Amino acid sequence: MFNVLFLARRKNRRAVVLWFLLSCTVPVSAMGQSQGIWTLEDSIRRVVEIAPEIRGAQAAVGARQGALQQAGVWPNPQIELRADDSIGKDAGTGGTDFTQFAISQPLPLSGRLGHQQAVAGAALDAARAEQSYQQIRLETQVAQRYHSLQLALGRLRLAQQRLQLADDLQNTGRRRAQAGELSELERLRMDLIREAAQQALNSAEGAYNEALSRFRVYLGLSGETTPQLTSLKPFGLVPALEQLQAGMANHPALLAAKHRVEAARSGVDLARAERLPDLSLSVFREQDLLNGRRQDVTGIGLGITIPLWDRNSGRIGEARAQVIEGQSELQVLERDLDSRLRQSYLNLNQLVKQGEHYRTRVFQPAQKVFELTRKAYASGEVEILSVIDANNTYFDAHERYLELLQEAWLEAADLRLAAGRALVATEQDTDNE
């Protein structure tokens, strides 16, 4: 597109200037609406599909599901066979016979299985919350790379425009030089303007290629893929702080910490239940020599371990300490997240206001001065130094405006992370609803 415009500019300088004015004044929200646009949401979905962090979080959930399933399983019965020569000795015949067959089944009647399931269930809920929070952390990292690439692309387009206008100014100077209206000093200054624009373009191309490489690697894109990004635009309305704070109860990180506390509390109940050992019910059948002949004997028995030396007091103390530790971590997390939420909220509002103020008070006036100065120079009303000053002021203001837009979007990503709000819904979120 820029090559076509460059040829058109050589044919009609005024047409290029008009195009530049229109491109600068078009609403930013209307830019980048062509087909094939790669949005931030598209980037997040791509990363969620391929990120090893998500696979690890899913595996952790699967492990906790297996632990929950195992927690409610009864212990296996035990079968015992006994062979001896007692009957042969009593009968005087000798030999070894099977004399006893027994089945023993532990009976977890102390409530241990229920407490094990409570611990495993809370751990599963914590793993699911951690999976959701892992996605939000990934969204923040994707947003950082996406908005960095947006800024690099905006700087590249700005550098291309700067070079085009420098070429146009240089052509105007050459015509004035042929007419004898331009000194050698002014011509050299025009050449410097053009060379500075070329150097700025080279630097912008390098920064764009570097940002594009980081973006490709993180999203697992091929080296030939060049995604078309939406242009940086002003951030919209910032949600009210009260609304964000009201949603903190469902923050995935806080939910994970709360579920870990629940698991620790259930661990105390489990330790207490394990203090009482399980009963063991045994059913046996054995043979013996009674009144000179073999006879079968059937019986039933109960077995229990006497908690004489080990009353599991150390495990109970450990479990109680884990509850206190989990509660402390939860309080620290609540404090830190509230602080981060407030700070990100204030920073985002400040950046939005600063960006709007900069646009109306600096960027747009600099653009107006630049265009008027160029027209005045073309008609011979001002010197080249005025053009240089207006040129530098405008492009510096435009670049700074792009930086303010990017800073606002990056702060918005940090605000979503602090508030625990995902930008893209997942199947897990849909299932939870």
Helical pair 112-178 and 364-378, crossing angle rounded to 10 deg: 20
Q: Which long-range contacts (CB under 8 A, 24 or more apart) does 78-81 make?
A: 78/103, 78/104, 78/105, 79/103, 80/104, 80/284
Domain 30-73+111-269+331-432 has what CATH class?
A: mainly alpha
Tokens of 90: 């009593």
* CA 59 – CA 199 distance, rounded (Å): 50
Residues 133-181: tens digit of each pLDDT: 999 999 999 999 999 999 999 999 999 999 998 888 777 777 766 666 6
Structure tokens at 138: 């990934």
Please report, for residues 43, 130, 258, 307, the alpha-carbon distance to residue 135 in angstroms, rounded to integers and kept in the order given.
12, 9, 19, 47
User: How far apart (Å, rounded) are the C-alpha atoms in residues 92 and 406?
Assistant: 100
Q: Which residues contact 404 (CB under 8 A, 6 or more apart)?
A: 351, 354, 355, 358
- Taking Cα atoms as reference points, which of 316, 272, 264 lies closest to residue 122? 264
Token pair 């951690």 in the structure block, residue: 130
Question: Residue type for 358, please?
Answer: Y
Enumerate the domain spans of the chain: 30-73+111-269+331-432
356 token code pair: 């709007």
Q: How far apart are CA 83 and CA 104, in angstroms?
A: 18
pLDDT per residue of the chain (433 residues) written in tens, 0 to 9 = 333 333 333 334 333 333 333 333 333 333 333 336 889 999 999 999 999 999 999 999 999 999 999 999 998 999 988 877 676 666 666 667 777 788 998 888 878 899 999 999 999 999 999 999 999 999 999 999 999 999 999 999 999 999 998 888 777 777 766 666 667 777 788 888 889 899 999 999 999 999 999 999 999 988 888 888 989 999 989 999 999 999 999 999 999 999 999 999 999 999 998 888 888 888 888 877 666 667 778 889 888 888 878 788 898 999 999 999 999 999 999 999 999 999 999 999 999 999 999 999 999 999 999 999 988 877 778 887 888 899 899 999 999 999 999 999 999 999 999 999 999 986 555 455 4
Specify the pLDDT at position 11.
38
What confidence tens digit (pLDDT) does each residue in 71-111 have?
A: 999 989 999 888 776 766 666 666 677 777 889 988 888 78
Residue with tokens 């469902």: 250
What global pTM score does this model have?
0.80
Q: Is 341:248 a contact under the CB 8 Å cutoff?
A: yes
The identity of residue 134, as a single letter, is Q
Maximum pairwise Cα distance, the chain:
143
C-alpha 377/C-alpha 386 separation (Å) is 8
Instruction: Find residue 79's DSSP bridge partners.
Output: 103
Give burial (CB, 10 Å; 0-12/13-18/19+) of 126. Answer: buried
In this predicted structure, what is the pLDDT of residue 16? 35
Residue type at position 75? P
**By three-state DSSP, how is residue 220 classified?**
coil
Per-residue pLDDT reduced to its tens digit, 108-137? 887 889 999 999 999 999 999 999 999 999
The tokens for 83 are 């062979």
| SS (HEC) of 89-155 | HHHCCCCCEEEEEEEEEEECCCCHHHHHHHHHHHHHHHHHHHHHHHHHHHHHHHHHHHHHHHHHHHH
The phi, psi pair for 415, rounded to 5°, reads -65, -40
Q: Which residues pair with 285 in a beta bridge?
A: 101, 298
